[in-house]
Chains A and B, each alone.
Chain A
Amino acid sequence: MTQALAECAGVSRRFGHFAAVDGVDLRLGRGEVVGLLGANGAGKTTLIRMLLGLLATSAGEVLLFGEPPSRRTRQRLGYVPQALGLYDDLTPAENLAFSEAAFGTHPGRGGHRVMPSALPESLRTFSRTVVGSLPLGVQRSAAFAQALAHQPDLLILDEPTSGVDPLARARLWETVAVAAAAGTGVLVTTHYMDEAQECDRLMVMADGRVVAEGTAGQIVGDARVTVVETVGTGSWAPAFAALETAGLPAALVGRTLRVPGADPAEVRRALGPIEASVTGAPATLEERFFELTLTSSRTKAPT
C-alpha cells in the first residue's frame, strides 16, 4: 500500500470530560480531494488542528507523510484558514514574500523579491493594492496562491469559498483541481453541499465521530423525504403550521414543503383536511446530512 499523505488511526481529543474528537480514522492519498462535513461542534476544527500539529491527541495516532506532525511536516503543508491568514495592510505580493520567507522557499539574501510569475494572472492587476482593500473573491485567490506557492503535498482548506459568486467559486475550485491533478492531497471543510460535490470523497462528522463516509451518492443512498404540494398562492402556510403542530417540521422550498424523516402516510394524516399532493422523493445531500446529525445527537443522549 502506498504511503498516505495524512493518516489518523483511532484519534481522539478530550477537553476535560468532553470528547471533541472520538476515535476518528482517516486516510488521504496523493491527488485525493476529501470533504469534511459537520455541524459546528462536530469536531472538524479540532481534527484539523491535530493534523496541523497545533494540538496534541489524547489517544490514537496522527501521521503526516509517515511521521508525527512537526515543523518539518508543516513545510509540506498548505493551509487556508477560514479567516484567510493574510496581512490586511500588505499587498498580495508582500504577503507571498513573507510567507515564502517563513517557509524558506526563497532564502535569498536581502529583500525577498517575489517572481511576478508566482502570482496568478488574475492577481497581478491588484499588485499595488493592500489585501484589506481587495474584494473578497480576490482576497480568497490571494490566500490560495499563498498556500500553494511552496508546492505543498497536502492542502488543508477551511470553508474556502464563503461569500463569493458562483463563477469565482468555480475558479477557486479549478485551482484546487489543478493542484490535486499534480498530486497534492486536499482536505476541505465546508458547510455547503454544492461545494461538497466537488470532492472525490466525503466524511460526515457528528459529535466527534465519523458517521458516514463515501461519495455524495453513497452517503445519500436511498434516503427519502416527503414532499407536500399545495395549490394556490400562500397556501403552503396552513400546511406548514399543521405539520409543525404534529411534530413534523417541514422545510420550505419554493412553494412546496419537504419533510425529512417522515413517511407520506404520516404526513398525510398530519395534514388533516388540508388539500395537498403528498409524495415521496429522494433526499438531497443536505437533507441526508441533517438526518445523520440528528440521529447522532439522539443516540448520544446526555447521560
Chain B
Amino acid sequence: MTAPSPGPAGPAGREWWGTDEASVRYGDRLALDHVTFRAVPGRVSAVVGGDGAGRTTLLRCLAGALAVSGGQVRLPAPLRIGYLSAGSGTYPDLSVTENLSFRASGYRLPPAVAGERSRELLERTGLAGARDRLTGQLSGGMRQKLGVIASMLHQPDLLVLDEPTTGVDPVSRADLWWLIARAAADGAAVVLATSYLDEAERAAGVLALDAGRALASGTPEEIVAAMPGTLRVSDAPPDGEARRRAWRRGGRWRVWDPVPGDGAGGLAGAAGAALVPDLQDAVTVAILARELAGARAGNGGPEGGGPR
C-alpha cells in the first residue's frame, strides 16, 4: 500500500524512524507485506492486530533484530534503540537490580548514571521494595514494568515495546503507561504493540495489521473517519445475510452496512440506530471486510488456508 502520510508523520523535515514498504518472508509465508510505518520522536504509536497479524515481526524489524526481505527500514544506531520482546526479556534468576545493571552495561551506561535512573524509575512504579527479589518471583505486572524500565534505561531514541500490557492488571498498566509517557516526554519515539483498541486509542498514531498487511493507519480520528460504510446498533442480532456483518459489543449488536445509506440489510425497520464509530469499531470493520472479501474470493469456504 502507499501511505502518503501515516499517523505519526510529523511536520516536514522532522526526524522519524520506521519502515517503507517493508516485507518479511519466512519460507513461503509473507509475514509482513509492504508495510509502511513511521515512529516520531516525542510520540507514542501503537501497532494493533490479533495473533498472527504481523505485529511481532514488524517490531523485531524496528528493533533491528530482523532483516527485511524487501523495502526499507530507517533506524537509529543499535545502542540508541530500546527493545522489550514479547514476554518481558528479563532474566528470571537475576534480581531486579542485577537485571538492570546487566542491561546498563550492555548499553555502556556509566554505573552511577544507570544506578540513579534505575532508582528513580523503580521508585515511581512501586518496584523499589522488590529491588533484591529474583525476577522469576515477581508478579506478571511487576516483571513487565521491570522489562520496560530495562529497555528505556539508556534514554533511547526509539523505544520498541512488544505487548507490554497484555495480561497486566489495570494498576500495573497505569504504571506502564506512565513509563511510556515518560519515555516520550524525554524525546523517544515510542512504538508499542497491543491487542487492545482502547489502549491504542491513547496513542497519537495507530497502525492496524491483519495477516501481515496494513489494514488502516493514521491517528485514531483519521482511522475512524476513513471507515467505509455506516454502523448501526441494535438490541438483537439481525437475520439473514446481515448476520455475517454483525458483532456483539457492550451487550448490544453492531451491524455494518458497507454501502452508506443501505440500511436494508436485515435490520427490521427502526431496529437499528445509526452510531458514531470509535477506533475499535473501525478496526473491527476492517477485519470483517477482509474476512468477507476472503470468503467471497474463496467461494464461501471456511477459513482454511488463512493466515497462520
- Listed in ascending order, the chain A residues whose CB lies under 8 Å from chain B are 37-42, 82, 121-122, 124-125, 135-137, 159, 162-168, 170-171, 173-174, 177, 191-194, 197-200, 233-234, 236-237, 240-241, 249-255, 286, 289-290, 293
18 A–B pairs (Cβ distance < 8 Å), ordered by A: A40-B140, A40-B172, A121-B302, A135-B51, A135-B52, A136-B50, A162-B166, A163-B51, A163-B163, A165-B53, A171-B247, A174-B247, A191-B173, A233-B43, A234-B41, A237-B42, A253-B201, A254-B219
Chain B residues contacting A251 (CB-CB under 8 Å) are 174, 177-178, 181, 202
6 smallest beta-carbon distances between A and B, as pairs: A165-B50, A252-B181, A170-B247, A136-B51, A237-B185, A234-B42
For the complex, what is the distance from the CA of A197 to the CA of B197, rounded to whole Å? 14
B167, CB-defined interface residue at 8 Å: yes
Q: Is B250 a contact partner of A168 (Cβ separation < 8 A)?
A: no
Chain A residues contacting B247 (CB-CB under 8 Å) are 167, 170-171, 174
Please judge, given known A-B contacts A192-B196, A192-B198, whether A135 and B251 are in contact too, CB under 8 Å.
no
Chain B residues contacting A237 (CB-CB under 8 Å) are 42, 184-185
Most buried by B among A42, A122, A162, A250: A162
Nearest chain A residue, comparing its CB with the CB of B86 = A163
Nearest chain B residue, comparing its CB with the CB of A239 = B185
Residue from the list B201, B204, B284 in contact with A167, Cβ < 8 A: B284
Q: Is A293 a contact partner of B171 (Cβ separation < 8 A)?
A: yes
Nearest chain B residue, comparing its CB with the CB of A197 = B250
For the complex, what is the distance from the CA of A234 to the CA of B249, rounded to whole Å? 34
For the complex, what is the distance from the CA of A136 to the CA of B50, rounded to whole Å? 9
Please judge, given known A-B contacts A164-B50, A170-B284, A198-B250, whether A40 and B169 are in contact too, CB under 8 Å.
yes
Closest CB of chain B to A205's CB: distance in Å?
Answer: 11
B72, CB-defined interface residue at 8 Å: no
Give the contacts of B178-214 with A (CB-CB under 8 A).
Answer: 178, 180-182, 184-185, 195-198, 201-204, 210
Closest CB of chain B to A172's CB: distance in Å?
Answer: 9
Q: Is B170 a contact partner of A290 (Cβ separation < 8 A)?
A: yes
B218, CB-defined interface residue at 8 Å: no
Q: Is B280 a contact partner of A191 (Cβ separation < 8 A)?
A: no
Closest CB of chain B to A300's CB: distance in Å?
Answer: 14
Q: B149-167 interface mask toward A, CB cutoff 8 Å, 1 = contact, 0 = none?
A: 0000000000000010011
Chain A residues contacting B167 (CB-CB under 8 Å) are 82, 159, 162-163, 191
